[in-house]
């Protein structure tokens, strides 16, 4: 539930819930002190708990007994002990009886004795229930004649002052109870709302402090689906990105150090050789034309090797910074590969290496930068030569196609790549052979450059290798269909 929904719910519930509870308690209270009998919640309360029902029941019972006694023997009502016993049988509070003979009160309950007199009671045969005393109210009355013919009147009286005090006390209780309910409900909702806000905010604060300390492994576990949960999710995503960024930065730094180490190693060897041969020339060791030619040729070869290393580093840096402009053009891939293989074959030592091409006899068009793709093919071939075995090296360049792409495989029978090294061979500065005992040195950038060039062609590159059997490097390029002078993509099978 969102914070907005929870706030709206709490704003609605905080007044409604106390209101309902107060209504229920008020209903119970009114039924208890004498609300309308038979209505509302009070109707469900036992009748002996309702004072009004108790008074009415006591009055009915009293009048029934009086009527029976009047019919049987009205003079018995003059018996004080009988009247006292009858008075005690009334179980309603704040009630009492009064007996009048002619105009004189001959008996009254102790509870109302001081509040009534002959004047305050209605005259004989009057049907009014009113009296002149505002504290005492007549609930029931019966007129009769004694055996001597004198007038008799008996009254069932209620002292409302007692109930008024009960009502006042209950009203105070009801007000206090309502305030308590309001405080409790408000406290519960306030605690619920604050807990749902403060706890995750504390977690966020703790996570922020951990990140400030440099602890990027601290995981923020807030599973709420509200706005704080969204902020927490964004915070956690930020933490992961920051962690990945720092790890990548650290990796870059390690790669930079490795690059410096590799370049230093690869440059130091030819520089040492060049210095040695130059000192030999200076010292007169190359005292024959043959020795001089050998020394000069060696110096030239080592200088070319150094130039190649520097060029690889410079090219990769430009590719990594997207500062090389690719010049794409539509070419027939079959003719292009034939030209590449012919050019590479011209430079190979065919006594140790056999390079062959296997392509279909038809035209297949792709959009490529011819120079950069040639560098890709050459890098892969040179990599095969670097890691060849003692047997004759066979390199096969094979072209296949599917509905959308051309797939070029460059396969060799070299010593292969260890299984644990396969995921990393396209990483910058990575070398599967850390001993560096290869025929041709290198900076470890050749296959990384190759991958960058293929990615710029919107293609993919991958490898399959088995140790002591050989390696196959594959890359795919988008195929084009040529219709007349128009060029269009083959229909994408996934679309």
Could you tell me the mean pLDDT of each successive run of 10 residues in the chain, 495 residues long?
A: 63 71 70 46 45 76 86 88 85 81 86 72 71 70 88 85 71 78 76 70 81 80 69 81 84 75 75 87 84 88 81 77 83 92 81 86 91 91 85 91 92 88 76 49 73 92 90 93 56 37
Question: Is 418:467 a contact under the CB 8 Å cutoff?
Answer: yes
Q: Which residue has the tokens 């051309």?
A: 406
Q: Decide if 171 is inside a domain.
A: yes
Helix (H/G/I), strand (E/B), else coil: 442: coil
CATH number for position 480 = 3.30.565.10
Name the domain boundary from 110, 137, 164. 164
> Domain check: are 466 and 340 in the same one?
yes
> Domain check: are 184 and 241 in the same one?
no
CATH number for position 252 = 1.10.287.130
d(CA 147, CA 153): 14
Nearest Cα residue to 492 out of 483, 479, 482? 479
How many residues appear in the chain?
495
> Domain check: are 376 and 329 in the same one?
yes
Q: Decide if 205 is inside a domain.
A: no
1 CB-contact burial (10 Å; exposed 0-12 / middle 13-18 / buried 19+): exposed
Q: Decide if 222 is inside a domain.
A: no
Residue 488, φ and ψ in degrees, nearest 5: -145, 155
Name the domain boundary from 309, 339, 364. 309
> Domain check: are 342 and 481 in the same one?
yes
pLDDT at 225: 66
d(CA 168, CA 162): 10
Dihedral angle of Cα 303, 305, 306, 311, to the nearest 10 degrees: 120
Helix (H/G/I), strand (E/B), else coil: 206: helix
> Domain check: are 27 and 112 in the same one?
no
Determine if residue 276 is left, alpha or beta; phi over 0 gives left, psi from -120 to 50 gives alpha, anything else beta: alpha
Q: Decide if 475 is inside a domain.
A: yes
Question: Is 398:358 a contact under the CB 8 Å cutoff?
Answer: yes
Name the domain boundary from 278, 309, 340. 309
Q: Decide if 320 is inside a domain.
A: no
Q: Decide if 207 is inside a domain.
A: no
Handedness of CA 416, 417, 423, 425 (dihedral sign): negative
How many CB atoms are closer than 10 A to CB 478? Answer: 16
pLDDT at 210: 82
> Domain check: are 303 and 341 in the same one?
no
> Domain check: are 119 and 249 in the same one?
no
pLDDT at 169: 73
H or E stretch covering 324 = none
> Domain check: are 26 and 149 in the same one?
no
> Domain check: are 443 and 305 in the same one?
no
CATH number for position 134 = 3.30.450
Residue 54, φ and ψ in degrees, nearest 5: -60, -45
> Domain check: are 12 and 91 in the same one?
no
> Domain check: are 353 and 483 in the same one?
yes
Helix (H/G/I), strand (E/B), else coil: 488: strand
Boundaries of domain holding 338: 325-489
> Domain check: are 117 and 186 in the same one?
no
Q: Decide if 494 is inside a domain.
A: no
Report the number of distinct structural domains present in the chain: 4
Structure tokens at 289: 């034309």
Q: Decide if 30 is inside a domain.
A: yes
Whole-model pTM: value is 0.47
């Amino acid at each position: 539930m969102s914070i907005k929904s929870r706030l709206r719910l709490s704003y609605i519930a905080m007044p409604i819930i106390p209101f309902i509870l107060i209504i229920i308690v008020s209903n119970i209270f009114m039924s208890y002190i004498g609300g309308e009998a038979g209505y509302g919640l009070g109707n469900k309360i036992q009748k002996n708990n309702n004072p009004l029902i108790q008074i009415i029941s006591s009055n009915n019972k009293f009048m029934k007994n009086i009527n029976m006694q009047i019919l049987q023997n009205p003079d018995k009502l003059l018996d004080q002990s009988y009247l006292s016993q009858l008075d005690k049988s009334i179980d309603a509070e704040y009630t009492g009886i009064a007996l009048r003979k002619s105009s004189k009160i001959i008996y009254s309950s102790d509870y109302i004795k001081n509040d009534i007199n002959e004047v305050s009671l209605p005259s004989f045969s009057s049907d009014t229930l009113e009296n002149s005393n505002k504290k005492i109210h007549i609930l029931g009355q019966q007129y009769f004649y004694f055996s001597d013919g004198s007038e008799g009147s008996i009254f069932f009286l209620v002292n409302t002052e007692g109930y008024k005090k009960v009502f006042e006390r209950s009203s105070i209780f009801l007000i206090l109870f309502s305030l308590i309910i309001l405080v409790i409900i408000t406290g519960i909702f306030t605690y619920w709302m604050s807990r749902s806000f403060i706890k995750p905010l504390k977690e966020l604060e703790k996570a922020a402090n951990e990140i400030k300390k440099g602890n990027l492994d601290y995981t923020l576990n807030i599973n709420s689906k509200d706005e704080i949960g969204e902020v927490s999710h964004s915070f956690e995503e930020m933490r992961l990105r920051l962690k990945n960024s720092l790890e990548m930065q650290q990796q870059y730094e390690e790669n930079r150090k490795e690059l410096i180490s590799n370049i230093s190693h690869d440059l130091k060897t030819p520089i040492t050789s060049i210095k040695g041969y130059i000192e030999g020339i200076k010292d007169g060791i190359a005292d024959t034309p043959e020795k001089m030619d050998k020394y000069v040729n060696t110096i030239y070869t080592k200088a070319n090797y150094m130039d190649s290393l520097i060029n690889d580093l410079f090219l990769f840096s430009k590719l990594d910074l997207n500062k090389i402009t690719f010049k794409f053009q539509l070419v027939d891939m079959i003719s292009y590969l034939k030209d590449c293989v012919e050019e590479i074959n011209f430079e190979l030592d065919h006594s140790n290496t056999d390079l062959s091409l296997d392509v279909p006899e038809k035209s297949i068009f792709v959009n490529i930068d011819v120079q950069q793709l040639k560098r890709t093919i050459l890098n892969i071939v040179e990599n095969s030569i670097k890691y060849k075995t003692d047997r004759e090296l066979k390199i096969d360049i094979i072209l296949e196609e599917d509905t959308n792409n051309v797939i070029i495989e460059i396969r060799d029978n070299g010593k292969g790549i260890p299984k644990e090294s396969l995921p990393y061979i396209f990483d910058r500065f990575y070398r599967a052979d850390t001993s560096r005992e290869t025929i041709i040195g290198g900076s470890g950038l050749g296959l990384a450059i190759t991958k960058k060039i293929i990615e710029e062609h919107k293609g993919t590159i991958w490898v399959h290798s088995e140790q002591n059997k050989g390696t196959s490097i594959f890359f795919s390029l988008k195929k084009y269909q040529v219709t007349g002078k128009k060029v269009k993509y083959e229909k994408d099978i996934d679309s």
